[in-house]
Structure 1
Amino acid sequence: MTVMRGGGAYGRGAGAYARVGVESGVMSASPHQLIVLLFDGACASIRAARIQMQAGNTAAKGQAISKALDIVNNGLAAALDVEHGGEVAERLASLYDYIARLLLAANLHNDEQSLNEAESLLEEIAAAWREIGTNTTPAAPD
């Protein structure tokens, strides 16, 4: 029984450490890195939803899809600056809207193909976003 308690304490401690790591990572991240984290979170939520869908766990599937929707709608789409971003921002807004509709359809109809398409689209945009990050270098100090 002591081993079980120790294992549980370790799990709680590791979880707390992970949360602190994520929080400090977010606090020290650049705006570009924050967007990458949003993509990562949305894709992770979609993968979790797929696992729960395959397991027949409707409630957990719905929670995971809701989290992905929240990231797409209130993170990625909300971060767009249509005024300064022009046509690119408008196209991304349309794409995020389409992804949100795919996620809603996946939840409503247990449609794994919609989850796959949503994840694939997010991964493509994320890859392009990461590429932008590797091609930009900080300005040299004066």
Structure 2
Amino acid sequence: MSVHNPYQMYQDNSVFTAAPGELTLMLYNGCLKFISQAKKSILEKNIEGKHININKAQNIISELMVTLNMDYAISKEMRNLYDFINRKLIEANIKNDVKLLEEAEGLVTEFRDTWKEVIRINRAKQFKTGGLA
């Protein structure tokens, strides 16, 4: 008999039932969480923790890159920005540099905040037109 962690079950269910836009928001939030943990690890001289968390942030950025629809010009710009963030993460990992992580974090925060606003606007439009919010 296996014991299920209710928190993990809730998180899994959240991912499986989220709309695509909300999944992107979850990715941004996860990336920010891992960057924050990596910064903390650097300050605590925890090299393994830094490396693990930066790799997790890089994996999220990679996922965001591969899901871009390259039929749109904005996607090409986003790919360049994601590549820039990824390079900052790599450099921060090599140099144990919190400032480089903060540069990446600033961009990811801007993307996340913009994405939150897009979701809010779409929900308001759906509500106005009688769709589900």
Separation in structure 1 between the aligned mates of residue 21 and residue 52 of structure 2, nearest angstrom: 27
1:140 deviation in Å?
A: 3.1
The reply to whether residue 21 of structure 1 matches residue 10 of structure 2 is yes
1:18 deviation in Å?
A: 1.6
Give structure 1 stretches of 5+ with no counterpart: 1-12
1:79 deviation in Å?
A: 1.4
The reply to whether residue 66 of structure 1 matches residue 55 of structure 2 is yes
Name the TM-score, length of structure 2 as normaliser. Answer: 0.89
Name the TM-score, length of structure 1 as normaliser. Answer: 0.84
What secondary structure sits across from 1:40 in the alignment?
Answer: helix
Report the counterpart of residue 69 of structure 2 in structure 1: 81
1:81 deviation in Å?
A: 0.4
The alignment-based identity, stated in percent, is 27
90, 108, 113: which one aligns with 2:76: 90
**Residue 106 of structure 2 aligns to which amino acid in structure 1?**
S
**Residue 118 of structure 1 aligns to which amino acid in structure 2?**
A
Separation in structure 2 between the aligned mates of residue 17 and residue 60 of structure 1, nearest angstrom: 26
The number of equivalent residue pairs is 125
The reply to whether residue 129 of structure 1 matches residue 118 of structure 2 is no
Give structure 2 stretches of 5+ with no counterpart: none
